[in-house]
Amino acid sequence: MNEPGIASPSSIDPSGVLKPVLAHVGTVRSEILVFCIIGFILLEGFGLASKDMVGEIMRLSGVLIVFLGFAFYLYAYFHLPSTAQERIFTEQAAGEIERTRNIVQAAHRARHPVPAVQGATV
């Protein structure tokens, strides 16, 4: 079972290498977005100052950066833990939940045993 709030590894990270990193970067999504906007402001300003091809490339890079920033923000909003507390709570609860599930299921089975199938041989 995936950790809640963390995207399925197969969607963007087939090997699962990025999973621990993804769990952390969601908590700084706003800061990344601000960084991208400031980057856009700088590149846009520099790009407008130079009238040649380099200026156009800079302007385009600025637009690309700000769109990437927004895309990442939306992705993080829907798929990643937003705060360190959410991430830590997820990690800490996992083991205890599994233990509880096993005990509850065992108690349920003990109360409602599965009837033996007639004629079955071992």
Partner 1 sequence: MIERSIAVVSGKGGAGKTMLAMAITHELAIRSRTLIVDLDVFNRGLSGLLQKGRKLCDVAVPDFLLETGDTDEAPGEWSLIEAAPNVVTLHFPDITRLQRQRLEELSIGELMERLDRYVAQLLERSGCRYLVLDCHGGPDMLSFAAAGLCQRTILVSEPDRITFYGTLHFLRRMAEDCPTARPDVYLVFNKVMPAFSERYLNTFYDEQVKDLFQGHPLLAVIPFEAYLSKEFERFPFVTQVYPFSQLAGKARIIVRDLKIADDEPAAKAQATAAGRIMNTLLGRGVRLVPRFMNLDATTSFTAPVLVAVAILAGTTSDNVVWGPRINQYCEVFAWLVSGWFVEVMLVNWLSVLDRIATRQVRLRKFSSAIPAALLTEAIGLLLAFMVGISAGYFIHEVLPRDHVYGLSGAIHLAASLQPDGLTVFAFCLYCATGLWVTYNLVVQSGITLWHERRRSEGVLRGLGSILGPATAIVTLVLTCRGSI
The tokens for 51 are 């009238």
93 binds partner 1 (CB under 8 A): yes
Residue 50: both structure tokens together: 């130079």
Q: Does 104 bind partner 1 (CB under 8 A)?
A: yes
> Contacting partner 1 (CB under 8 A), which of 49, 116, 117, 120?
49
DSSP one-letter string for 63-105:
HHHHHHHHHHHHHHHHHS-SSHHHHHHHHHHHHHHHHHHHHHH
Q: Which of 13, 18, 19, 46 binds partner 1 (CB under 8 A)?
A: 46
d(CA 106, CA 83): 35
Q: Return the exposure string of 57-71: e unless at least 16 CB atoms fall within 10 Å of the residue's CB, then b.
A: ebbebbeebbeebee
Q: Per CB under 8 A, which region of 11-19, 68-76, 102-110, 113-121 contacts partner 1?
A: 102-110
Residues across the chain: 122
Quick one: which segment of 16-24, 39-47, 68-76, 114-122 binds partner 1 (CB under 8 A)? 39-47
Is 112 or 117 the residue whose CB approaches partner 1 more closely?
112
- Which residues make up the interface to partner 1 (CB under 8 A)? 1-2, 4-5, 30, 34, 37-38, 40-42, 44-46, 48-49, 63, 66, 81-86, 89-90, 92-94, 96-97, 99-101, 103-104, 107-108, 111
